[in-house]
Each structure stands twice: as structure tokens, then as C-alpha cells.
């Protein structure tokens, strides 16, 4: 048996990766061409359709991205403009507030100054009135003292109304002198 196996091995072609077998090669080519025809008929259009749909979807997404980018740039420009306008308005409001505060401060200072002048004028009027009352009181006292002194000198009591009138006229002539 061993010898039979050796004989068969010597007649059998050598099998290896580089050996060519005609029958196997023909069947491989037939199966390949058949598979290629089936794929071309059914799979190839579906694959091409999917690739074209994907390409169109990518183009739409790129167009949308470009529109979104342009819209974002416009919004950014508008935002920057609004921020600049807001800063300008804030600055104007601050300047206006400072101006109003200065005017209010000046008005308050003027009112305070007017009140001080009014208080000073009122105080002066009160001082003059008090001085006039004091002078009148002093005159009455002087008239009373003068009458008392004159009655002591003369030794008799003079009439109160006439005496008082005479002394007041005399004092008035003294005030009229420079």
C-alpha cells in the first residue's frame, strides 16, 4: 500500500499555490462573470444612486452651511452695530446725566444762596426793628427819668401828658441834628 501511494503521488500533479488548474480556472471565470452581470444589473444602480444621493446631500449641506455662515456674519455685524449704538447711547445718557447733575447742583447752590440772603436780610430787618424798639424804650425811659429829675428840681409835679409831649418834642429835635 505504501508503494501504491508513492506511485500515485508521482503521477499526480503537484498542488501548490502557483499551480494552474484549467477546469477550476474556467469555473472561477464563469462564476465571476455571472456575479459581475448580477451586480451590474441589480447592485450597481443602487450603489450609484446612493452615492449620488449622498453627493447631493453633501452639496445641500455645504450650501446650507454657506448660507448659515453668511447669516451668522450678518447677525454678527448687526450685533456689533447694536453694541456700538448701545455704547453710544449709554455715553450720551451719562453725559446728559452729568449735565443734569451739574445744572441741579448749580440750581441748589443758587437756592441756598438766595435762602441765605433772605435769612440775612430778615436778620438785618429784625436787628433794625429791635434797635428801633430799644431806642424807643430808651427814649421813654429817658423821658421818664428827665421828668422825674425835673420834678425834683422844680419841686412840684408837672402834668404828665404835657410834660411827656414837651420832652418828646425836645428829643425829636435832638435826633434831627446831624
The answer to whether 142 touches 171, Cβ cutoff 8 Å, is yes
Alpha-carbon distance 5 to 160, whole Å? 186
Question: What domain range includes position 146?
Answer: 53-176
Residue 8 placed within a domain: no
So what's the pLDDT on residue 153?
Answer: 60
Mean pLDDT for 143-159 is 65
Report residue 171 as a C-alpha cell. 428829643
Q: How much is the pLDDT for 103?
A: 94
Q: Say what the pLDDT of residue 86 is.
A: 94
Query: What is the mean predicted confidence (pLDDT) over 148-155?
Result: 63
Residue 6 placed within a domain? no
At 44-98, the pLDDT tens digits run 998 899 999 999 999 999 999 999 999 999 999 999 999 999 999 999 999 999 9
Q: What is the pLDDT of residue 116?
A: 93
Number of Cβ atoms within 10 Å of the Cβ of 146? 17
- Would you say 139 and 168 are in contact if contact means Cβ atoms under 8 Å apart? yes
pLDDT at 141: 79
Is there a domain that residue 2 lies in? no
* 144 inside domain: yes
Average pLDDT rounded to a whole number, residues 155-178: 71
Instruction: Answer whether residue 169 is part of any domain.
Output: yes
The answer to whether residue 117 sits within a structural domain is: yes
**For the residues 22-34, what does the mean pLDDT come to?**
93
Q: Specify if 106 maps to a domain.
A: yes
Residue 25 forms part of a structural domain: no
- Per-residue pLDDT band at 6 (split at 50, 70, 90): very low
Query: How many domains are contained in the chain?
Result: 1
Task: Give the residue among 164, 114, 173 at the shortest CA–CA distance from 142.
Answer: 164
Amino acid at each position: 500500500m505504501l508503494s501504491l501511494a508513492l506511485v500515485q503521488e508521482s503521477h499526480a500533479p503537484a498542488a501548490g499555490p502557483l499551480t494552474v488548474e484549467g477546469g477550476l480556472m474556467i469555473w472561477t471565470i464563469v462564476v465571476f462573470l455571472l456575479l459581475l452581470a448580477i451586480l451590474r444589473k441589480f447592485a450597481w444602480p443602487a450603489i450609484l444612486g446612493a452615492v449620488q444621493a449622498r453627493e447631493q446631500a453633501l452639496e445641500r449641506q455645504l450650501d446650507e452651511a454657506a448660507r448659515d455662515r453668511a447669516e451668522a456674519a450678518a447677525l454678527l455685524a448687526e450685533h456689533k452695530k447694536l453694541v456700538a449704538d448701545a455704547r453710544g447711547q449709554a455715553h450720551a445718557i451719562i453725559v446728559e446725566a452729568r449735565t443734569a447733575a451739574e445744572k441741579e447742583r448749580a440750581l441748589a447752590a443758587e437756592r441756598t444762596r438766595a435762602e441765605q440772603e433772605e435769612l440775612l436780610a430778615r436778620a438785618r430787618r429784625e436787628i433794625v426793628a429791635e434797635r428801633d424798639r430799644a431806642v424807643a424804650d430808651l427814649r421813654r425811659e429817658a423821658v421818664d427819668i428827665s421828668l422825674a429829675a425835673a420834678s425834683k428840681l422844680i419841686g412840684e409835679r408837672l402834668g404828665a401828658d404835657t410834660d411827656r409831649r414837651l420832652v418828646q418834642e425836645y428829643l425829636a429835635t435832638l435826633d434831627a441834628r446831624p
